[in-house]
Every structure is written in C-alpha cells, then in structure tokens.
Structure 1
Amino acid sequence: MENFQMSRQTSDEIDRFLNGAATFADMLWGFLDESSEPSQRNLQDFVDKDGDHDDEDLSPRHVEENRIFWETQEQLLQATLFRTTSLETRIRQATKEAIKELNLAGVLCVCRRPAAGNCRKCLQRELSIRLQNAGFNCSLCKSKWKSTPEIPSGEHKYLEVVEKSKKGEVRVVIELNFRAEFEMARASEEYNRLISGIPELFVGKAERLKALIKILCAAAKKCMKDKKMHLAPWRKHKYMQAKWLGTYEITAPAPLPEDRVNRVPKPKTSMLTFDLRSNLPGIHCTAVEVV
C-alpha cells in the first residue's frame, strides 16, 4: 500500500466513483445499475449459444480498451482498500488478535470441533464474543433473500460491528472469507491478478464494501465476456450485494452450555484410587500388606 501512487486526475476519478458518479469503466461496461435494461452492447448475459460467436477481437483498439479497463479496476480497488478509518483499523486489529488466540488455543465449540478449524459458524460465534469483550458492539448477522428472475434465493452469515457517531450509526462488516467469495475456477489472468489484491479477512464500513462489490462484479462480468462464458447468477452484482447489504437479522451469540465452559475433566475412580477412609469415615478398615 505504501508504494501505491496515483495522479491527481486518477484520484479525482476515484472520488467521483466512490460518490456514485460514473467513471470511464462505468460508461464502458455499464454496470452502475444491474437492474436497468441492458444496453445494445450487452444484449445477453454472456451466454455462448452452440459455440456460435465471433473470433476474439484482437484489434489495437480492443487491446487498448482491455488494458485501460483492468488498470482502472486495479486503481479503484487499491484506492478503496487504502482509505481505511481509525475505527476500521481498531476492529481489524482486534479481529486478527482474536483469530490468532483461537488458532493457538483450539477452543472447542458447541459443534465439538476446533473453532479455528472447519467450523465457520462457531468461529464466527467465538469472534463475536471476543470482540464484545474488547468493547465493540459486535453481532452475528444472517442475510436472506428470495429468488427473482435475475438471481436465485440464498442466505449468508457474517459479523457486524455498529458504532454510534455524531452523524449516526456506522456499520462495519467483518467477512472471514472475503477473497474466496469472488474467486472463479476458470477466471482470466487479469481477473486473478485483481482478486489477489483483496484480503481474505475483510473489515470495512458498508459503504466501502459496496464500492468493492461494484468493482469486483464489474471485473467478473468483463472476465466472463472475454472468455465467451456464461456469468453465473450467484456472481452477479445483485446477488453479491444481497449477501452483506440486503435485508438481514441480528442474533446475539448464545453462551456456551455449562458443561462446555471451562470444563475440567474429573479424574476417573477405581478401587486403586478410591480412598475408603476419607469417603466413608464410618467404615472400619484394617491395613493389609500387599506382597
């Protein structure tokens, strides 16, 4: 991040992007409003019907447009990630420390699996408790959306910290597998290079997340179009927005059952370890020498 440099003109373009204004990439690929009617340039959702398509356009103009697009997406992505606030930094640091503690402790959860291992649900629960103990108003969130002609139904779980400020509530989203949400098996080299620049652990305000989704979904759309492949509905902009920015419910992490909290296993008793005189004081015992 320290080596990232931009011209004043590029910085102004990024400011306009984050404020909702159109940029070159917006005008070129038309991704500002996924719900609007497709332009003449995007009449279909990148479906290759029966393999009947024109050969790849390798004209100088196409190559230049392709280069400009990916450079613009890279600049927008880095600028969006770079502009972090002190609140985001504090939550991110606390989350990393909590994850490190869980990895070292291997805390058992209600699913009886290591919380730092394969159990995402219990890891989220443990993180929420630790962030609450650190003074953050952290909750478990579950988003859920219905099927539409454009996207299928689904649900997603993540963490959220809400802080009050003079301007109102600030919502900070915590996603433990952010990069994995955007990885594609048959992506282009340009797309994979762009995705490698995003963190696996995302901690950021909802506005920042919204801008990142916009950038990454535009890149996925461009990638699939260049490869003459169908863009899966769960890769679309509306589907990704629904995961973190749609309707959701908040649930507080339930406490662990009593038999799981600081449980110290009781030593097993046998006739060799059971003290008859201390446990049964009224019994008459005669010492016997064992040879």
Structure 2
Amino acid sequence: MDRQNSDDIVRFLDGMASSDDVLFGFLDEGNQSPEDFPDSGNLNGGGDIDDVDDNSNCNPEENKAFWQEQEKLLQGTLYRTSSIETKIRQATKEALKEVKAKGLYCVCRRPVAGGCRSCLRGEISRHLRDVAGYDCVISKSKWRSSQDIPAGEHEYIEILDRSGSKKGEMRVVIELSFRAEFEIAKGGEEYKRLISRLPEVYVGKTERLRSLIKILCIAGKKFLRDKKMHMGPWRKHKYMQAKWLGTCDRSSSLEAAVVSETNEPENWVPLVKPRVSMLNYDGLSTGMGRSAAVTVV
C-alpha cells in the first residue's frame, strides 16, 4: 500500500458527489433508443481474438469506420442494462456515498491514511450485503501461467442474484477501477476516446462484461499493431478474461481481511508489487516494473 494508492482513493471519493453519471458510465434507460446502437450479442461467443490476425494495414477510411463501429458496439453494450443491474448499480452508489460521508479507515496490518483499495472493496461489499441485502462477496481470481499468458490474480466484488428463477443464478461483477484496467499510457486519440466511454466503476452481469472485454481487447490489439508497439501478454484477451470470468475463491469482506492479516509472515517487508493491467506497459519498457495507479477520479 503506497501513498499514491491512498491519494487515488481520496480523490475517487471526493469526486462522488458530482460525477455519478461519469463514474458509472451507463446510459440511463429512456435517454436513447436501443436502435441507436448495433446489437453486441454476437461478441459473446466465437474463438479467442488473440489467435486472430487483424488487418492493420487498412486505409484511413477503413480505420475511421473501425473505431466508429467499436464505439457504437461499446455504447450499445452499456445501454442494454437489466433492472437488477440498475438496482445493484444504485446500491453501489449509495455504498460509495456512505464511505465518503463517514470516511474510509484502513484496517490492514499496516494501515494507510485515507484507506486502501482492499479496505474500500471490503466496505462496499459490507454495505451491499448488510444494508442492501445482496449475496455479496469479495472474489479473488487466480490463474496459472500458460504458453500464452503469465500467472496472476485479481480481486473484485461479486453479487450472486437468484431473483430471476427462470434464468437461474446471475453473477454481477463490481469493479471499482474498471477503466484503469484497459488504459494504455501512450494510447492514441481513437483508443483514448473509446476508453473514455467506459465507466470508472463497472457494475454489470458477466455476459455484458464478456462483450466489453472483447470489444476493448480488439481495439487495444489494433492500436498496438498499428503503432508497431509490442503487445504484452497481460493485455491479451485470455488474460483479461481470467481476471473476472475464470475460477475464483469467494469470501466475505471480513473473512478476506482476516486472511490477509494471518497470511503475512512475522518478517513481512512491504513491497510495491506492480499491478498487472493494460496501464503498466507504455510500449517502450521491457518489463512490468511500473506500478499502476487507480485512475478512478
């Protein structure tokens, strides 16, 4: 936990009062017609885009059409939101407002003034479970290294909803720093404009998340290839899917805090561990040595 992390959390909470629409980024129902956007349902299936060689040598008109299409697909995916997602999104807003009102206190073994990401997730999870009444947990995904991607792990909030008996159980993911996961330090104008459409806080079912990941990974892959920049394995479609759509361990916010405390050895020395995301690599460095800040302001 470093000072930068604390400052980011403070700025994030300070921006809550006036930026709900920007923070959550989902289009309110009724503002625009679904016909304004193409259907992105076909993005859910199909093969892995990491194995597909896109046409990076398209002419300016084709390039412009590509980015316009990706933007429409992104907006269409964000527009088609269900009633349960809208309710959970509103409850998440209320949880963040509560944290802002009372302040965030770090309960880690070595607390950080202003709070840390882990404690913020714990507080939001507690509110959604104890106040809003949702089956809410903190999930930690872990995956092994393979020929395509390195090993990694990622924590996020998850709600299991069973209110729609006909559809069975629905997983709703809450990612408090969603946009930061896809940012590229030296991203071009088209890519930055696409990323700016993303919510800072993602609250939505896994099917919607799957579509967003595919749209963004296709766009990121094209941008990097057009600029002849190396595509790190942590940017790949398979890697991004593993963060939220792979196997995970689930625990309550309290259990997560206890596990975090008891797992630290007596000779524990704080290390700044780089957060593996699309922001870690600027196309010039050869490693992942730069720690990414949470850009949730």
User: Do both proteins adopt the same fold according to a TM-score greater than 0.5, normalized to the shorter chain?
Assistant: yes
For 1:87 and 1:185, locate their aligned partners in 2 and report how far apart those are by CA, in whole Å.
Answer: 35
Structure 2 residue aligned with 1:160, among 158, 168, 172?
Answer: 158
Deviations 1:238-285 (A, max 9, x none): 00000000110101222789xxxxxxxxxxxxxxxxxxxxxxxxxxxx
Contact 2:137 2:253 in 1 (8 A): yes
Larger mean CA deviation between 204-213 and 95-104 belongs to: 95-104
Q: RCO (CA 8 Å, sep 6+): is it higher in 1 or 2?
A: 2
Structure 2 counterpart of 1:241: 241
Larger mean CA deviation between 96-105 and 210-219 belongs to: 96-105
Deviations 1:86-118 (A, max 9, x none): 11111111111111111121142312445xx44
- SS of aligned partner of 2:145: coil
For 1:147 and 1:162, locate their aligned partners in 2 and report how far apart those are by CA, in whole Å.
Answer: 28
Structure 2 counterpart of 1:197: 197
Q: Closer, same or farther in 2 for the Cα pair 1:158/1:7, shift >3 Å?
A: closer
Structure 1 residue aligned with 2:48, among 22, 33, 36?
Answer: 33
Contact 2:48 2:238 in 1 (8 A): no
Q: Is 1:135 paired with 2:150?
A: no
**TM-score of the aligned structures, taking structure 1 as reference length:** 0.71
- SS of aligned partner of 1:168: coil
Q: Closer, same or farther in 2 for the Cα pair 1:229/1:5, shift >3 Å?
A: farther
Q: Is 1:17 paired with 2:42?
A: yes
**TM-score of the aligned structures, taking structure 2 as reference length:** 0.69
Q: Is 1:75 paired with 2:72?
A: yes
For 1:19 and 1:243, locate their aligned partners in 2 and report how far apart those are by CA, in whole Å.
Answer: 16
Amino acid of the structure 1 residue aligned with 2:42: F
Amino acid of the structure 2 residue aligned with 1:156: H
Q: Closer, same or farther in 2 for the Cα pair 1:246/1:168, shift >3 Å?
A: same
Percent sequence identity is 54
Deviations 1:154-173 (A, max 9, x none): 00000000011222100000
For 1:172 and 1:239, locate their aligned partners in 2 and report how far apart those are by CA, in whole Å.
Answer: 20
Quote the offset at 1:7 in angstroms: 5.7
Structure 1 residue aligned with 2:117, among 116, 120, 132?
Answer: 120
For 1:3 and 1:129, locate their aligned partners in 2 and report how far apart those are by CA, in whole Å.
Answer: 32
Q: Closer, same or farther in 2 for the Cα pair 1:90/1:3, shift >3 Å?
A: closer
Cα RMSD (Å): 2.4
Amino acid of the structure 1 residue aligned with 2:252: A
Quote the offset at 1:211 in angstroms: 0.2
Structure 2 counterpart of 1:102: 99
Structure number, greater radius of gyration: 1
Structure 1 counterpart of 2:142: 144
Amino acid of the structure 2 residue aligned with 1:108: Y
Quote the offset at 1:15 in angstroms: 4.8
Amino acid of the structure 2 residue aligned with 1:109: C
